[in-house]
Structure 1
Amino acid sequence: MALVSFSTAGLPAAQRVALWEDHNTSALIGLRCRMLGETSFDGTELNLQLDRMHLARVRGNAHVVERPAEVIRRSPADAIAVYLAVAGEAFFYHEDGVLTLRPGQALVCDADRPFMRGFSRGLEELAIKVPRATFREITGLDELRAPLVRDFARGDASARTLARLVDRAVRPDGGEPIDEETVLHLLAGMTGRSAADPGRVHLANARAFIEDHLSDPGLNAARVAAGIAISERHLSRAFAAAGASLPRYVLVRRLERARAVLLAEERVTVAEAAARCGFGSTKYFAQTFRAHFGFRASDLRRASDPRRASDLRRPSDLRRAGDLRRA
């Protein structure tokens, strides 16, 4: 499904807040917005409506949003909201107190319980709206009585993976496909509920950890398992269920990244690309690259037309690796 973009840029200053509220009521969650000071509101939002959830990337300058009881009555969401802070500190007032959300943290809350959120330095965040019926299906919970905060920068592997997947799905330059079922299982883990398919969660967390550490020549099963807090046995089972081994997956991802580097950066040598992508031996890199892609890494340098180089043959095992990443 296509991303839908909304921006207040170019709109009359006096109408921006009202138009922003209208957009959010129809596209995400109904809110009342007000400014901090005399500055005009400046905001952009990328929305992606999926079959079982709604995703958004939101940017804005300093402001406050409220969802009081009268707004909830007028525009019920019947949903759970997840806010993942990318930039800008935010406060969250709710019935039982106040929370502070810093970049790298995720807030999970019931969208039909009154709250107020404030962004004194502006914000960039990722948002997820999950219908209550879907949330009940994956967690067994009808509601969240209190908001939850999870650290996706360091502490919570499921939150970190969820943030990575959503970030890739709602990028301004075009999003990547996202597996909704994986996102829902990750969300269940964030709420403390066991996922119905833990292997799916282990695989997603492992893939995210691998992406963050591909440049490390010492990346292995033990390191990945420790990084996502599971046993090597569970890790091996997760990859086996997807039809691949972890060492093979790591190798393919390194080769794919090296290929992308060589295509994108003309001044990077083959040896530099190999080292950047975790290969300790340039000779081994050259051998595996040719065996995997069917052409030499140096061919990407010699092709007169970069577009022609990017269309060089991709073998069947590379397509299998792509299938594994989407599993």
Structure 2
Amino acid sequence: MDQSQGGGPRTGLLSFSTARIPASHRIEHWEAHNAKALIGLDIRTLEDRPLVAQEINLYFPALRFATVKGSSQIVERSERLIAAHPTGDVAIFFALGGEAFFYHSTGMITLKAGQAVLYDADLPFVRGFSYGVRELVLTIPHQEYFRLSHGRPLKEPVVFEFAPGPGTPGPDPAATSLAAFIDSALRRPEQDLCSVEQDAFALIEQLVTRAVGTDRESAYRRAVKEIEHRFAEASLDREQVAAAAGVSERQLARLFAARGQSFAEHLLARRLQAAEAWLASDPDASIAEIARRCGFTSPSHFTRRFKERTGVTPSELQRAASMQADIEWSRLSI
């Protein structure tokens, strides 16, 4: 295996496991391995049990692939650590299982299995894996990323789907292909590495081009879809929708503001739209019941907001709908 000056392989395979390391020294060895082989991190466990971790790294002239497995842990890349161990890379983390939180400079997102996040590894972040970590990782040198993104910097994380999951708009084909490609390459490292890297770059270019060009649009669609599914929940708030969309709350606010509407205004409009349909189709239902069905906790607040939108009260619309139904029925009876 070819070795670089820093001690890591220039090309080829490297593997690490805590299995034979005394429990009291596992974290320091895990940190040392990641600093050398992938991304320097401060690591701490969430439980009293010893850390269990395994990593396989595959090196190319420019790219690096890794598969990571481990018990519950929190990993942090602070400004201090970045200054000591800069990577010069952008990273993509593909979550294969569990759930993880991802704190970054502008907010927090939650990643579920089947989701991936694209982020600059030399910007501060904290990641937490309460049920353990199982993921694929890809790192791309900054200069290569800038080439693929046509010079656009990556200031905030971009989240996308690479596998089907509940409540997701569907996987990105390029992301799906890239995740499968990384997994296959790690399982068959004897392949022509130059050829593998070229093929990987083709997939990365597709993904990055789409990510920097339409990530806001896809995040907005995810947010709207989450509202559509859950507007009847009175507890639905901006934090929950932002997490489902894979953006921070600040980013979510900007997504709606770009369309001339705040998040609260969009949610209210969807609830009132649903209420109007309920009032017209179920004239016998109580106003309180319809308010509850549409996510309002107070019938009086619902009535006030409804009149502001339509110019009539819910009761007035309900009576009008009932009268119209009686007229239609009488016509059918003649």
Q: TM-score, normalised by structure 1?
A: 0.56
Q: Quick one: distance in 2 between partners of 1:153 and 1:146?
A: 22
Partner SS state of residue 12, structure 2: coil
Q: Quick one: distance in 2 between partners of 1:167 and 1:191?
A: 19
Alignment of 1:287-306 (within 5 A): none
Structure 1 contact 93–117 (Cα < 8 Å) conserved: yes
Partner SS state of residue 182, structure 2: helix
Q: Quick one: distance in 2 between partners of 1:89 and 1:162?
A: 21
* 1:184 aligns to 2:201 (yes or no): yes
Q: Cα gap change, 1:87/1:31 in structure 2, threshold over 3 Å: closer, same or farther?
A: same
Per-residue deviation, 1:3: 2.0
Query: What is the count of residue pairs matched by the alignment?
Result: 194
Equivalent in the alignment of 1:164: 180
Q: Cα gap change, 1:59/1:48 in structure 2, threshold over 3 Å: closer, same or farther?
A: same
Q: Quick one: distance in 2 between partners of 1:194 and 1:68?
A: 25
Q: Quick one: distance in 2 between partners of 1:37 and 1:162?
A: 33
* 1:153 aligns to 2:169 (yes or no): no
Equivalent in the alignment of 1:289: none
Of 87, 90, 99, 1:77 maps to 87
Equivalent in the alignment of 2:96: 86
Structure 2 contact 44–74 (Cα < 8 Å) conserved: yes
Q: Cα gap change, 1:2/1:11 in structure 2, threshold over 3 Å: closer, same or farther?
A: same
Segments of structure 2 that go 5 or more residues without pairing to the other structure are 1-10, 165-170, 213-334
RMSD: 1.9
Equivalent in the alignment of 1:111: 121
Q: Quick one: distance in 1 between partners of 2:147 and 2:156?
A: 19
Segments of structure 1 that go 5 or more residues without pairing to the other structure are 196-327
Q: Deviations over 1:83-125 (max 9, x none)?
A: 0111121110001111111111111000011000000000110
Partner SS state of residue 87, structure 1: coil
* 1:67 aligns to 2:77 (yes or no): yes
Structure 1 contact 88–103 (Cα < 8 Å) conserved: yes
Per-residue deviation, 1:175: 6.4
Equivalent in the alignment of 1:26: 36
Q: Deviations over 1:68-97 (max 9, x none)?
A: 100000001111001011112111000111
Structure 2 contact 162–175 (Cα < 8 Å) conserved: yes
* Larger Rg over CA atoms: 2
Of 38, 46, 57, 2:48 maps to 38
Q: Quick one: distance in 2 between partners of 1:194 and 1:17?
A: 34
Q: Deviations over 1:308-327 (max 9, x none)?
A: xxxxxxxxxxxxxxxxxxxx
Equivalent in the alignment of 1:231: none
Partner SS state of residue 134, structure 1: helix
Alignment of 1:266-277 (within 5 A): none
Structure 2 contact 148–208 (Cα < 8 Å) conserved: no
Partner SS state of residue 2, structure 1: strand
Q: Cα gap change, 1:134/1:100 in structure 2, threshold over 3 Å: closer, same or farther?
A: same
Q: Which aligned runs of 4 or more in structure 1 are off by greater than 4 angstroms?
A: 173-178
Alignment of 1:1-327 (within 5 A): 2-141=12-151, 143-154=153-164, 155-171=171-187, 179-193=196-210
Per-residue deviation, 1:139: 1.8
Per-residue deviation, 1:45: 0.3
Partner SS state of residue 34, structure 1: strand
